[in-house]
Amino acid sequence: MAANATKKADQEPRSWYGIVGLSWLVPGGGHFLLKRPGRGALLAGSVVLMFLLGLMMRGMMFQPQRGDLLTTIIYYGGFLGDLASGLLYLLTVWLGYSQPDMAGHVHDYGTKFLVAAGLLNILAIVDAYEIATGKKD
Amino acid sequence: MPKMNLSHFEVSVLFALFSSIVLGVITKRTDSERLHYGIRCFVYFMVALIGLGWLMRLGHG
């Protein structure tokens, strides 16, 4: 009976603002808040490791920059992708670990890893939102 | 912060691994389905990686 009540309470839609905000700020945090620790740990591990590998490969952080259409899309898109990593991005910028753009394939892969970590975090945020609103169990 | 120097192949495998984990976790409904989907995604990444690598090698001669 008590287990059923707990399960029902877990499945009820709840306010998603805090969960989405926490998911953005701390990768996997929304899943922990929603009592999905296993999934949260896998998401957090993947996003954090990808971001750290990007930093260790001396990837560049995009800054919003206007120019021709392709430049605007790449720099604004890259900036949004970096920003989607939440606290990882903010700490990197605040603590001065942000790297300038350098030539070389390893640096280039690092830049892509930093953006991809943010994009994976967006997928995690959407997943947490769907769980919070009851669209997914 | 230590500096890493990875080859194209190593970076691609790591990218495939992390992406497959996230895709597996968020896509399916049961743990078994998630595991199978994650492994399938990883295999697809690897097939595409090796296939495109050979294509470029043969294309360049």
Average pLDDT by stretches of 10, chain B with 61 residues: 87 95 92 94 96 92 69
Ramachandran sector of residue B30 (left: φ over 0; alpha: ψ -120 to 50; beta: rest): beta
Which residue from B minimizes the CA distance to A136? Answer: B29
Is there a domain that residue A10 lies in?
A: no
pLDDT higher than 50, residue A84: yes
Q: Is A36 part of any domain?
A: yes
Domain assignment present for A2: no
Please report which helix (H) or strand (E) contains residue A101, including its range.
none
Q: Is A124 inside a domain boundary? A: yes
How many angstroms separate the CA atoms of A49 and A126, rounded?
A: 20
Residue A11 has pLDDT above 50, yes or no: yes
A3 in a structural domain:
no
The verdict on residue A6 lying in a domain is: no
Residue A1: predicted pLDDT: 46
pLDDT of amino acid B17: 96
Question: Which chain A residue shows the shortest CA-CA distance from B17?
Answer: A46
What tokens were used for B8? 């194209």
Domain total for chain A?
1
Domain extent at residue A21: 15-132
Q: For B37, phi and psi rounded to 5 degrees?
A: -65, -40
**What number is the average pLDDT over the span A44-57?**
95
Q: Domain for residue A111, yes or no?
A: yes
A68, part of any domain: yes
For A82-92, b where at least 16 C-beta lie within 10 A, e where not — what string?
A: bbbbbebbeeb
